[in-house]
């Protein structure tokens, strides 16, 4: 019998390697052999038990791979076949509820489903005991049922570059929620992987001026190579004054990606009157933020919008990664083999050696480098 190795979090605080049997596929299913999975801060929150989800779980939602097996109906409907390279969206939407029908499938309202009653997000909240148990990217294989959103990846994309499809899709969601268009000025708060990719996505949508704020100079320098015109290190200068100097009327759009309450509160001070603020960073459960309603919002008619997951973002992300000359690989500072998953997580947790993005090559053993 062929078995599949996967890392499972049986309960908060622990992770171990488990073996699953190779699943049988129905005609509408497919199986992805994972090649790369990106380590996300969310994975650490899962390990720490911060998200209030049911365990056991297999983490990993930033995965790409090749089709190892595909049912006949799935192959016909999707136009895919064995060996095709694919990215799979994190959310399994129902395709039928009001939100799905409006195209906001990231807000899918159907909870009551047999395949994953406790949740529908790969690597986040689908319990590992839901058959066939392959619901996360820290695994040699991931199962994709009929409702999965599977995107073909062109051959010219290296696996490393392809591993950025999901975070770049999240960035495109935020940029498109803001309605960034040609000539717009954009301030991005937070030079983490999502913030840096948000700069690239805003540029791809035609942003005229892109400015990024943050504290770590090495990351701010990467932002400039991702297309930012200016970076503001808030450790050394006053962010408000610095934005004012670059954009006297304020930015058309401000996108907060750091997930810090104080930064989200500050974001309304960088935007012009009538502008848009997108809050894309998760601050943690039940974290309040405070605005001065009249001065900050009402008198200036500021639109404040949330951005959740990546709906509509995979297509432009794959397009940009395959057509752009930007050196996106630069974001991946740390590479690991499959045996190194615990090491990768600890490096990300401890921010080892300036780690920006850590990516695991699930097809090799231990090869940290």
Name the residues that contact Zn ion, by CB under 5 A.
40, 93-94, 97, 100, 108, 110
What are the Cα distances from residue 50, in Å, to 53, 85, 182, 286?
Answer: 8, 33, 39, 12
**Smallest distance from the beta carbon of 93 to Zn ion, in angstroms?**
5
**Smallest distance from the beta carbon of 249 to Zn ion, in angstroms?**
34
Give whichever of 157 and 358 is closer to Zn ion, judged by the CB atom: 358
**Smallest distance from the beta carbon of 90 to Zn ion, in angstroms?**
8
Give whichever of 51 and 75 is closer to Zn ion, judged by the CB atom: 51
**Smallest distance from the beta carbon of 198 to Zn ion, in angstroms?**
13
Residues ≥6 apart with Cβ < 8 Å to 232:
211, 212, 213, 214, 220, 239, 242, 243
Give whichever of 97 and 118 is closer to Zn ion, judged by the CB atom: 97
- CA distance linking residue 43 with residue 58, whole number of Å: 10
- CA distance linking residue 5 with residue 8, whole number of Å: 10
To which H or E segment does residue 304 belong? strand 303-306
Find the residue with minimal CB distance to Zn ion.
40
Give whichever of 107 and 297 is closer to Zn ion, judged by the CB atom: 107
Give whichever of 94 and 343 is closer to Zn ion, judged by the CB atom: 94
Give whichever of 71 and 137 is closer to Zn ion, judged by the CB atom: 137
Contacts 24+ apart (CB under 8 A), 228-236: 228/188, 228/199, 231/191
**Smallest distance from the beta carbon of 100 to Zn ion, in angstroms?**
3
**Smallest distance from the beta carbon of 309 to Zn ion, in angstroms?**
9
Helix, strand, coil % (nearest 5) of the chain? 30, 25, 45
Q: Do 276 and 175 meet the contact criterion of CB atoms below 8 Å apart?
A: no
């Amino acid at each position: 019998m062929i078995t599949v190795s996967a890392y499972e979090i049986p309960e908060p605080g622990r992770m171990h390697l488990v073996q699953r049997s190779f699943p049988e596929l129905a005609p509408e299913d497919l199986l992805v052999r994972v090649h790369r999975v990106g380590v996300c801060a969310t994975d650490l929150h899962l390990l720490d038990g911060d998200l209030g989800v049911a365990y056991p779980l297999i983490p990993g939602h930033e995965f790409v791979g090749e089709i190892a097996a595909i049912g006949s109906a799935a192959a016909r409907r999707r136009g895919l076949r064995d060996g095709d390279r694919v990215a799979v969206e994190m959310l399994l939407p129902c395709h039928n509820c009001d939100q799905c029908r409006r195209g906001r499938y990231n807000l899918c309202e159907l909870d009551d489903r047999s395949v994953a009653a406790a949740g529908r997000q790969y690597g986040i909240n689908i319990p590992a005991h839901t058959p066939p148990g392959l619901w996360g990217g820290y695994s040699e294989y991931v199962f994709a049922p009929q409702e999965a959103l599977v995107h073909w990846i062109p051959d010219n994309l290296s696996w490393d570059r392809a591993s950025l499809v999901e975070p770049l899709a999240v960035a495109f969601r935020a940029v498109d929620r803001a309605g960034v268009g040609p000539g717009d000025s954009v301030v991005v708060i937070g030079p983490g992987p999502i913030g840096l990719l948000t700069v690239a996505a805003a540029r791809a949508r035609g942003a005229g001026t892109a400015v990024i704020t943050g504290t770590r100079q090495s990351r701010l320098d990467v932002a400039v190579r991702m297309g930012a015109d200016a970076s503001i290190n808030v450790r050394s200068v006053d962010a408000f004054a610095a934005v004012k100097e670059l954009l006297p009327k304020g930015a058309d759009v401000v996108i907060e990606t750091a997930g810090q309450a104080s930064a989200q509160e500050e974001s309304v001070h960088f935007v012009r009157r009538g502008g848009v603020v997108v809050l894309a960073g998760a601050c943690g459960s039940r974290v309040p933020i405070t605005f001065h309603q009249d001065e900050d919002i009402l008198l200036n008619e500021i639109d404040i919008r949330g951005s959740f997951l990546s709906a509509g973002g995979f297509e432009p992300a794959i397009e940009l990664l395959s057509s752009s000359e930007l050196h996106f690989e630069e974001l991946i500072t740390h590479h690991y083999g499959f045996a190194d998953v615990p090491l990768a997580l600890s490096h990300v947790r401890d921010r080892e050696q300036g780690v920006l993005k850590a990516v695991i090559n699930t097809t090799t053993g231990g090869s940290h480098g």
